Amino acid sequence: MARTTPHLLLSRHCIFYFRLAIPQRLRDAVGGRREVRISLATRDRSLAIIRAHQLSAFAKAQLLQALTAEDKTTGGSMGLDSKIIQKMNLVMPSGHQITDIKPGEEASALALVEKLNGMIAGVNPSHTQSSLAPKQNAITFSELFQKFGEERARGGKWSEKTKKEFTGSVKLAIALMGDLPVDQITRERIRALKDDLMFVPPRARIMPKTRETAVKLMVLTQKSRSLDGGKIQVLSASTINNILGRFHSVFGWARDHGYMTDNPVSGMQIEVSDNEPKRLPFEPDELKTIFRSPIFMEGKYRKPFQYWGPMIAIYSGLRLNEIAQLHLKDIRDVDGVMVLDINAAGGGKKLKTKTSKRLVPVHPILKKLGLIDYAESLKKAGQDRLFPELKYKKDEGYGRRLGDWFNNTLLVDLQIKSKTKVFHSLRHNVATRLQNAHVQESVVQAILGHAHQSESFNRYASGYLPEILLPAVEKLDFGLEHMPFRSKTM
């Protein structure tokens, strides 16, 4: 590629590219890259120069932020290395340049960076002065999120998993649009954020402060590859909608508490086609393939959860983590009916919703296969949990190992693996079977732990007695043959 003007390259196909060298100390933040090279998608030199100027202002502003933030983090002085400063010429689309940033001028330089970012995001430059001098009572996005999280935690609605998901989404937003005062988070800002989210790679990690710039550079690179017709991996529409949904919750809380006048995320989610893959129940032949496998018919399991996990799921409709976290005392007699007591009592146990707390009768087939006897043998061995081999994970509870084995080993070996067929599909099989057996909807909801449509029912009723639910559970007949559990030395 032939060099023309600074940061402007011409390819052998006569397409202009923007090129920016990455300072040595920031290369780790962008995957070790030495430079950013982005197609300007034009053969017109005049248009290429304009686009290069815009990218120069944007990309260099982010590098300047990263370098300054690194000085703050490492405790170094705010005076940046003079050689690096010389390379940080900020060229605005108008052609004006900002050069020779001297020690002591960093604050004003960063203020200008804020102005440049506002302009690139499509905000009227005449209004960006407010971003340099926020209102006295305007809190930032991160401060708002902290208040939101504290209240959710106080109300018992802030599990480790939920906190992690919200925190990751907020960090990603701040990396892309900055930690703005909330009165400046407009629909225009959210629209620009949504556009950037569509180019974020899957599993993009937000690193410490000095590396948040890497996300913006990743997005720039992804957009460039897309313009060139290259294949890129991006977040799915459902993932982006989940992220926007978390912002909707935060900003809705902010509106209700007087921090914002409206919710800028309302109506911003991506419309998803009904054809997008969803979890489906296993077909009858697939269920036979699963439960005729050597794991169940020949006792060729390595750990007991591999036999009992799917068995309990298909004959009770319990969720993955509800099965994995069962204590031995949760398998008990209630008025002559053996039940699985689904509760959050005990170390690390948790429920998805309030209505998840329930008593589900033990299916006669599970008794016949030896579940009660197996539980008693564990009690005699001094164990407390049904599956002591499943370890607790802070964000995921006890179910990860069971889910990984079923989805990524068993289903793969049986050639049933797909995006729509996973462990949770067994729960869909249960729901479908109960529906086809004409079981009353409220009874199905009680077995599966779903909320009833009637608010009075949810608030005042204590739930169906196990003796009422047992006949419905007994209708879970899939025409499968089973071999009793073969106990092994743990």
Structure token digits, residue 366:
């599970």
Hey, which residues does 359 pair with through a beta bridge?
341
pLDDT band at 458 (very low <50, low <70, confident <90, very high): low
- The whole-number pLDDT of residue 92 equals 40
Contact predicate 325/348, CB 8 Å = yes
How, if at all, do strands 2-5 and 16-21 pair?
Answer: unpaired
Architecture category of domain 284-473 in CATH: Orthogonal Bundle (1.10)
pTM value is 0.61
- The whole-number pLDDT of residue 218 equals 76
3-state secondary structure of 479: coil
pLDDT digits (tens, 9 = 90+) for 378-392: 999 999 999 999 999
Residue 354 DSSP code: G
- CATH 1.10.150.130 occupies which residues in the chain? 138-198+235-276
How, if at all, do strands 358-361 and 337-342 pair?
Answer: antiparallel
pLDDT band at 62 (very low <50, low <70, confident <90, very high): low
| CATH 1.10.150.130 for domain 138-198+235-276 | yes
**Continuous segment of H or E residues that includes residue 341:** strand 337-342
Lowest-pLDDT range of 89-93, 171-175, 179-183, 415-419:
89-93
- Between 178 and 369, where is the model more confident? 369
Query: What is the chain's mean pLDDT, rounded?
Result: 80
- CATH 1.10.443.10 occupies which residues in the chain? 284-473
Closest CA to 36 of 50, 49, 24, 22: 22
Alpha carbons 97 and 112: distance in angstroms, whole number: 12
Alpha carbons 179 and 134: distance in angstroms, whole number: 12
Lowest-pLDDT range of 90-94, 245-249, 350-354:
90-94
Closest CA to 145 of 238, 259, 224, 279: 259
Hey, which residues does 38 pair with through a beta bridge?
18
Whether pLDDT at 328 is above 60: yes
Instruction: Tell me the residue type at 371.
Output: L
pLDDT digits (tens, 9 = 90+) for 396-420: 889 999 999 999 999 999 999 998 9
